Amino acid sequence: MSQVRVKLTFPESEIRRPVLATLVRQFDVEPDIRRADVEEHRGWIVCLIDGEAEQLDAALAWLRTEGITVDLLGDILEG
């Protein structure tokens, strides 16, 4: 099991989508929201995401293809 700390920045078009729910269902990862600021026209979330390394890579790649900016905030931690 691995963990990565990320900041997800959402464009206005993605604010209302259930992105974290999709991550859980499609990629079998567990996001843990640490901080967030979501408004009508923009938003960001800092979270820890736990999961298998391959699933984490796939989840982060999917977020990027959806137009969400993914900033890695620390090293991937393996447990």
Indicate which CATH number applies to the domain containing 48. Answer: 3.30.70.260
Nearest CA to 4 among 46, 63, 67, 66?
46
Which range marks the domain in which residue 34 is found? 2-78
Across residues 60-75, what is the average pLDDT? 92
Beta bridge partners of 18: none
| 48: its two tokens | 């820890």
DSSP state of 2: E
Across residues 8-14, what is the average pLDDT? 91
Residue 54 and residue 76 in contact, taking contact as beta carbons nearer than 8 Å: no
The pLDDT tens digits of the residues spanning 17-49 come to 899 999 999 999 999 999 999 998 899 999 999
Domains held by the chain: number: 1
Provide the residue type at 39 as one letter: E
Q: Is the pLDDT of residue 68 over 80?
A: yes
Q: Is the pLDDT of residue 77 over 80?
A: no
